[in-house]
Amino acid sequence: MAPPPSASLPLTERLLQIAQTLQFAWFSGHVTLLLCTLRYGLSYLTFNFYSRWAKFSYRTAFIAAGVTYGIVVYKGLRAKSRSPQRQQGGHLTLLTDENVQYLLMAMVWLYSYQVPLALLPFTVYSVFHVATYTRTNLIPTISPSPAPTGASPGKGAAKSASPMADSIGKFVKQYYDSSMSLVAGLEIALWFRLLMSSFTFARGTWILLGIYTIFIRSRYSQSTFVQGAIYEFSARVDALVANQSTPPQVKQAWVTVKGLARQATDATDLRKYVGAQPVKKAQ
């Protein structure tokens, strides 16, 4: 992130400076997503899933998600276009970028039927992005620390002595890993939710399941948290199947499912085709 404006500027000018940046638009998108999720949550709890406000909040949340990930993808592509090194793999390499994947899924959710669970992974990410931006940009801009003697303008405000900033930093550090594990669990639970919906053979359910399966496969390649969640789920099923009361047919079916899953995982590893390196985490 860009450093906060110089502490020597008036507050109004400092706020105007950060408000004119793409990073602030990215931050605003995450705030909008959180507010819309909260509003949709109220409708969900009162069983008004398809009220006008519920529909508006749900769709706007994914529009905001699309904007935030679109900004990150745009900045990444702009940085690559200025790099003297050429990227190999073309469009396939682009598709291995987690931010591109989340951008595409946000658009899929925007135009598909409502699946409330789909909002939660985006919401967890937004909580941490809003917290980080508030700590590193908003607080130092509104209440900058005195610049050390001889420091260049703007650098003294990069670190805030604010107790609130310190508390936010501790929160992010303490709960980040557990929250990413939560996201992984939510994304896997969402796959099973779509699988159950597909058994109804309602319009679009199988297409959505197929698209989301591709997304989960990509997440598995790139996220140790998703890998851990899947390993944990597999271990629990192994323990249940190993019970002596489990019929042999069920045990054999589970072994077959695991074998097919391994084969599908190996066959759909895009990194073998594009030679892609691990990419940075979703923004």
Q: Which long-range contacts (CB under 8 A, 24 or more apart) does 169-175 make?
A: 169/135, 171/131, 172/128, 172/131, 172/132, 172/135
* pLDDT tens column, 108-125: 999 999 999 999 999 999
pLDDT of 130 above 70: yes
Residue 245 identity (one-letter amino acid): S
pLDDT of residue 278: 47
204 and 112 Cβ atoms separated by less than 8 Å? yes
32-46 average pLDDT score:
95
Dist. CA 66–CA 60, nearest whole Å: 10
152-156 average pLDDT score:
47
Dist. CA 152–CA 166, nearest whole Å: 23
Dist. CA 183–CA 92, nearest whole Å: 25
The token pair at 101 is 């994947």
* pLDDT tens column, 222-253: 889 999 999 998 899 888 888 888 888 888 89
Residue 30 identity (one-letter amino acid): H
Q: What is the band of 282 on the pLDDT scale with cuts at 50, 70, 90?
A: low
* pLDDT tens column, 162-181: 788 899 999 999 999 999 99
* pLDDT tens column, 136-147: 999 988 888 765
Dist. CA 154–CA 5, nearest whole Å: 5
